[in-house]
Structure 1
Amino acid sequence: MIRLYFQQALYHLRENPIITWVSVLGTALAICMIMVLVITFQVRLVDCEPEVNRSRSLYVSAMSVKNKGGSDGDSSNARMSVRTGRECFKSLTTAEAVTLVSLPEKVRVSLPAGNKVTADMVQTDDAFWHIFRFRFLSGKAFTKADSDAGVLCAVLSAAVARRLFGTTDVVGKTVQLNYVEYRISGVVTDVSVLATSAYAQVWIPYTSTDIARLAWWEETVGQMRAVILARSAADFPAIREEAEQLRRKYNDSLRDSEVFYRGQPDEQFANLYRKWSETPDTKAIILRYMLVIAILLLVPAINLSSMTLSRMRRRMAEIGVRKAFGATGGELIRQIFFENLLLTLFAGVLGLALSYAATFLLNGFLFNNSTNAYLSGETALIPGMLLSPWAFLAAFGFCLLMNILSAGIPAWRASRMNITDAINQR
């Protein structure tokens, strides 16, 4: 019986090719637009290599400092110093791991008498390699002993290693970073700039430079940010509470200043939309996204429903004839369901393929911004960033529901009509 329903559905879809293709393309484009929006949203939110722990990470990207007893509005906003990071965040006991990371900076990477490149470098510590998961092509990350001792060692991305040496098998060799010699401890696969917390092309221990001394305002302000890994998301409240206790203890040790975080540590979503002193209104941001998605779904769905309804009205006579030959109302409704399921299924697969094609073709338009323009890396996409089965199923289900309702309601009414009225389309 199901096979017969599908055969009948294919026949009716071929009978009106123009309306069929308009319906297919309309549904496909609606799903495509939704998926492109979801993909641009989730590439910065979902757990994917190397930021595999986004769902259980907290971030402190900036902080504020003011004179003791002053108002929050009369403050300066900047990155934290190494000292602030160590005393306020590295000391957390409720967290699984905490790393301090500098912002990417341009560095000249060269061989003593050979090739040279300009790359994006960050300074961090050994905990960085625990929080983020990189695929090492050769060697390994620098260790806690290396970090504590300030050893001049570096991890390179594959692109930098190949441009300098022509290979990634370079562990133990030496490169010059701004004319300072560093030993290569490992080489990792290239990282997309969309991995905003983990991205770099060269990683070194911050203890190997003088960044700890580059601090001001009672050594509270500097060039670092903190990433905190919780054992589970359920520990976020406890981590925030302990961070607040450490902040107060730290402020007590300061003579004239006090630091505060304006609602941080943030989860990944809030961290993406934080702008210095402005605490992001995450509910308003989510509401805007939901409104855009609703518009992208409803406008094409209403137009497609009108076309489907018009097509069904022209089939009232057919339904009346089938009813006269003994077809039950249930059989008529099932046929309409399978017909629209086939139409929406084909459109959904086409829409999903179009969304991936559009995401790759419009990569620069969708993901480049003023921050990325400064960086040397690529806005590369990996499968883990693109797969969003729940978003696709939601968009597909909505389009299927609209198509079934617009076709099913007239079919249900016709199945309950007097046979003569249905045949005469009254």
Structure 2
Amino acid sequence: MSLFRRAYWAGGNQFRLLENGEDFFSRVFECIAAARREVLLQTFILFEDKVGLALRDALVRAARNGAQVDVMVDGYGSPDLSDAFLHSLTSQGVRLRVFDPAPRLFGQRVNLLRRMHRKLVVVDGERAFVGGINYSADHLADFGPEAKQDYAVEATGPLVGHIHRFMLHAIAHTGEGRAWLRRRLATVRTDLPATGSAQAVLVTRDNHRRTTDIERHYRAAIRTARERVVIANAYFFPGYRLIQDMRRAARRGVDVRLILQGKPDMPIVKTAASLLYHHLLHAGVRIYEYRERPLHGKVALADREWSTVGSSNLDPLSLSLNLEANVVIRDRAFNEHLHARLEHLMRHGCQRIQARDLDTAWSGWRLVRSFLVFHILRWYPSWAGWLPRSSQRARTVQAAGAATDEAGPA
């Protein structure tokens, strides 16, 4: 059985930008609860809080309506779901898989590498959601100052068939087998009508044949940009080549802007990104730190048509280890709307970082640090491939509380 390897552009799509949990949760839960045939959902984080319980209720309603419901969560990102919560899903016919589960060592999660970080939903084969929003209450404003700023898209049109097919292949590779895959692929619609004018492609990253696809799309957009590039990314520590592409774009007159975390959910995130500030600012890249709450978004745009929304950060975990999924969109209207939302973020929630704000004192440590950062960025995509790459497993949670392990390459 081969993975769904090729990514095809599809025309005739329509996309709706969903900003934060307030937009996303109400819409995705409504669509899931109304499903009649099928729900496929993959997420890194599912917490047993008010958001997770609302998702549970929507999934159970879909199952009771007769839909086949398949959910996959990551074993590292979703470690503390109670038996009662799991049983409330599986007893109603929801097929729940836990990607690469592992027991804790001295109370700590140790299965850190090569996570299933995608956030995808397909409902009835006709509507899809792609983005970076997890199912947890910290994506809602009422969570408080640590509530996350994030984005997703709702998609209709022929691209949904591509996303549908990809998700079925991903499930099959956790152990379902060829017969299951053939039967489910027969339900994928290849005649979905056009709902808009957007060209789009689902771009994924895995640890086998599609190791650099998302990074290549970013680099191609930056290299060909002539007017503007705006990147809003939560965890920013990309490879040397992407940094060089940004610097070259700024030097040839492109307005290159970065929106990064100014109020990080993890202090090391800001520390790592700030090591690059000198190199970027001196080339003319504009850097904005979002200060109102933690930034969790992974979106970008170039010129007047190209945009991307998805789960992939621009850091070593996302670019070299995790399983990720972004949608790349060519559509003027969507690009303009995303630009307006990011412009609003820069104007009302960000502080622009100037070269004069940085420590300009030259020292031996700064020289060593710059040297190390340069070479880490230049070579980490290569050495990341040496890290453990065992065939991860997906545990299928059974209605009676038992579980079976199904092996397969992730």
Same fold (TM over 0.5): no
Return the index of the structure with the highest Cα Rg: 1
Report the structure, 1 or 2, having the larger helix content: 1
TM interval, short-chain normalised = under 0.3
So what's the TM-score if we normalise by structure 1? Answer: 0.23
Higher relative CO (Cα under 8 Å, sequence separation at least 6) belongs to: 1
So what's the TM-score if we normalise by structure 2? Answer: 0.23
